[in-house]
Amino acid sequence: MATAALLAVDWGTTSARAYRVAANGDVLDMRNAPLGISQVVDARFGEALDRLLGDWRNERVPRIASGMIGSRQDWVEAPYIACPAPLTALASALVYTPQRELALVPGVRTRDANCVPDVMRGEETQILGGVDPREEHVLLALPGTHSKWALVESGRIVDFATFMTGEAWHVLITHSILGRLAVQGAPATTPGPGFERGITRGMGTGALLHDLFGARTLVLMGELAPEEVSDWLSGLLIAREVRNARTWAHRHGYDGGRVRVIGDDALVARYAIAFAREDVIVTPVPSHAAARGLWHIARSAGLISDSR
Amino acid sequence: MATAALLAVDWGTTSARAYRVAANGDVLDMRNAPLGISQVVDARFGEALDRLLGDWRNERVPRIASGMIGSRQDWVEAPYIACPAPLTALASALVYTPQRELALVPGVRTRDANCVPDVMRGEETQILGGVDPREEHVLLALPGTHSKWALVESGRIVDFATFMTGEAWHVLITHSILGRLAVQGAPATTPGPGFERGITRGMGTGALLHDLFGARTLVLMGELAPEEVSDWLSGLLIAREVRNARTWAHRHGYDGGRVRVIGDDALVARYAIAFAREDVIVTPVPSHAAARGLWHIARSAGLISDSR
C-alpha cells in the first residue's frame, strides 16, 4: 500500500467519505460509509471515525475533515469564516477535536445584497479543491439539496449564494398536491422529455409560486403524462436556479457564460442540459474535489509538508 | 323559519358549508360540516349531502353546489369553462347529479402568458358573489392553499392566476430543513414581528429559491428567534405572491392599487399587512361570497325566479 501523507474525510449529514491522500495530493484510496452525522448515536463521533477509517486508523498521519461534522450541533464547532475567504483563512481557523483525533475545517458565511446571512459547510472545501489558486476568476455551481454557487478569485472564495432547489423539489413532489397526480417511473439515467419542458418553463420570467402549479394543471388537461411530472418539476426548479444564479453572478461582474460544476454525475447531467439551453460552457472539474481541497488546506495549515 | 328559495353548498376538499338562501339572495342559515370530498367514503356523496343538509333536506327547493364536488374524481364532473367566463356561461353549464339531487357549478380554466393551463373550482363562484355585475373592473385576491387572483369585468371572469403560497408554506415548514430550527409558538391571532420582516424580504426582487434559505440562516446567526420562523416564512411567501400577482395584473392593464380580498379572517389580516406595505387599498367584500355567487348562478340558470 502506497504511503499516505493525510487522511481526509468529507463528513456530511447523511454519508461520509474518507480518503488516503499522498503527499502530492493524489488520492490513493477512498471509502464511503453510511456514517453521516445524522447516523451517529449519542455523539459517539470517535467511534464512528474509527469505523469509517477501518484499518487506516493505525496510520500515524494527520487527519482532517470538512462538512457538517464541524457544525455547532456536532463534534466540535468550527465557527464560520466570513467571505472573502482565502485558503489561508480556512487553514488558520482549523479546530481540533478534544483528543486531537481530527482537524475540522470551518464553514464559510456571507451576506446577500439585502444583508441576509448565507452559510455553507463542506462546499468551501470542494470549491477550493475544484480550482487552481492561479485562476483569476471562476464561477462554480455545486448542485444539490441546497445548491451553492460561488465566485473564486485566485484561491479566495469571494462570495456565494444558496438555492434550495433539491429540497424544494423533494418536499413538493413528496408532500404537496403536485405529487398526487405524479407517477414515479423507473429511475432513468437520462431525464425524459418532461424535463426539457420543465426547463423551458423555468427559464421564463414567471413567478415561481405560480409556475409550480403547472405540474398539476398540465396533467389535469392531459398535456403532461403522470410519469413526466417529477422530471418536469425538476427541470423547472433547476432552470430557475440557473437563471437566478447567473443574474447573481452578473451583479458581481461575472458574465456567467462559463461555469464549473461539482456534484454527482446524474445531477450534473441534468444541470448540463439547462446550461446547454443557455449556451453556458461547462468547464471540467478535477475528480475528488473534497479530498483535493482538504489536502490544500492541510498543506496551508502546515499539517503536511509541501512536497510538490 | 323563514322560507328558503335555494339550498346552496360550497363543497371543498376538506370541508363543506351549506346555506339556506332567500329569494332575494339573503343568507338565512348556514352550517359547516367536516364532510369535504376527501372525507366521503366509497363515493357515497348522496348520504354525505343528506347529513350536511340535516333537517333542511326535506325543503322542496332547488339545490346547487360549487367546489371540488364537481371535479372529475368526485360525484359528477362539471367540466371547466374557459375564460373569459361570464356568469351566464357558468349558469348554462350546470351539471346535474344522476338523481338530480344537486346542480354542480363548473370550474373555470385559462392559459397563462406561456400557454400553460390554470384552473379553479369553487373560487369562480366566490368571485361572482364578491362583485356587482355593474362594476367594470375588479381585481380580486382569494388567499389560501392555492391562492387565486382574478380580473372581473362587468360580471365576466376575464382571467385568473394561481399561486401555491399556502401549500408551499405548509410543506416547507413541515417537511423541509426550514422547519427544523423553528419552534411553533401558540397560534397568534396577529402575526409577530417575524412576519413583518418576512414581508420585507418577500417584497424584494431576490430569487425565491435563495430567499427561502434565510429562514434557516437568520436563526443560525441568532438574528431571528426560532418562534418567528413560521411567521417569517409566511410573510416572505405572501409578500412574494402579492408582488408577483400585481405584476400579473399590470400586464392586464390593471394598476393593482385596489384589491378586493375574499378569504378567512386570519389570512385576510395577514394579506392586509402586505397590502398596506405597498399602499394597496383593500376594498370590502360582501359576506357569504360563495352563497351569493351560487344564488346569482341559480338565478341566471332559471332555477329560482328573479324576485329582486
DSSP string, A19-41: EEE-TTS-EEEEEEES--GGG-G
| Structure confidence by residue, pLDDT tens digits, A14-67 | 889 999 999 999 999 999 988 888 889 888 999 999 999 999 999 999 999 999
Q: Do A220 and B248 touch (CB under 8 A)?
A: no
* Amino acid present at B173: I
| Alpha-carbon gap, residue B124 to B112, rounded angstroms | 17
Over residues A107-124, the mean pLDDT reads 97
Closest-CA residue of chain B to A197: B116
Smallest Cβ distance to A209: which of B109, B114, B241?
A: B241
| Alpha-carbon gap, residue A258 to A238, rounded angstroms | 17
Give the ipTM of the model, two decimals please: 0.95
CB < 8 Å to A77, chain B: none
| Alpha-carbon gap, residue A61 to A133, rounded angstroms | 25
B14 pLDDT higher than 90? no
Smallest Cβ distance to B162: which of A175, A208, A210?
A: A210
B69 pLDDT higher than 70? yes
B146 pLDDT higher than 70? yes
Instruction: With beta carbons less than 8 A apart as the criterion, state whether B155 and B86 touch.
Output: yes
| Alpha-carbon gap, residue A308 to A26, rounded angstroms | 11
A199 pLDDT higher than 80? yes
How do strand A117-120 and strand A108-111 relate by DSSP bridges? Answer: antiparallel
B56 pLDDT higher than 70? yes
Over residues B252-262, the mean pLDDT reads 94
pTM of the predicted model as reported, rounded to 2 decimal places: 0.95
Q: Given the C-alpha cell 379553479, which residue does it identify? A: B120
Q: What is the average pLDDT score of chain B?
A: 94
How high is the pLDDT of residue B120? 97
Q: Do B165 and A204 touch (CB under 8 A)?
A: no
How high is the pLDDT of residue A185? 65
Q: Which residue has the higher pLDDT, B278 or B72?
A: B278
| Structure confidence by residue, pLDDT tens digits, B76-114 | 999 999 999 999 999 999 999 999 999 999 999 999 999
Nearest to A175 by CA among B167, B211, B182: B167
Q: Which residue has the higher pLDDT, B181 or B240?
A: B240
Smallest Cβ distance to B209: which of A116, A221, A241?
A: A241
- Give percent of chain B above pLDDT 70: 97
Q: Do B114 and A206 touch (CB under 8 A)?
A: yes
Per-residue pLDDT band at B188 (split at 50, 70, 90): low
Q: Given the C-alpha cell 329582486, which residue does it identify? A: B308
* CA angle, residues B274, B276, B282, in degrees to nearest 5: 95
How high is the pLDDT of residue A184? 77
How high is the pLDDT of residue A45? 93
Query: What domains can be seen in chain B, in order of their start residue?
Result: 6-109+292-300 (3.30.420.300), 165-283 (3.30.420.310)
* Amino acid present at A95: V
| Alpha-carbon gap, residue A77 to A110, rounded angstroms | 18
How high is the pLDDT of residue A183? 87
Q: Which run of H or E residues covers position A95?
A: strand A95-96
* CA angle, residues A234, A235, A239, in degrees to nearest 5: 120
How do strand A258-261 and strand A138-142 relate by DSSP bridges? Answer: parallel
Q: Which run of H or E residues covers position A104?
A: strand A103-104
How high is the pLDDT of residue B185? 65
| Structure confidence by residue, pLDDT tens digits, B18-34 | 999 999 999 999 999 88
Per-residue pLDDT band at A307 (split at 50, 70, 90): low
Helices (H), chain B: 45-53, 87-92, 123-129, 165-175, 193-203, 208-211, 214-220, 229-251, 265-277, 289-300
| Alpha-carbon gap, residue B228 to B233, rounded angstroms | 9
Residue B167 sits at the chain A interface (C-beta within 8 Å): yes
User: Contacts from A298-306 at CB under 8 Å and sequence distance 24+?
Assistant: A298/A6, A298/A8, A298/A62, A298/A64, A298/A91, A298/A103, A300/A87, A300/A88, A300/A90, A300/A91, A301/A91, A301/A92, A301/A94, A301/A103, A303/A6, A303/A62, A303/A64, A303/A103, A304/A5, A304/A6, A304/A23, A304/A61, A304/A62, A305/A23
Q: Given the C-alpha cell 421564463, which residue does it identify? A: A204
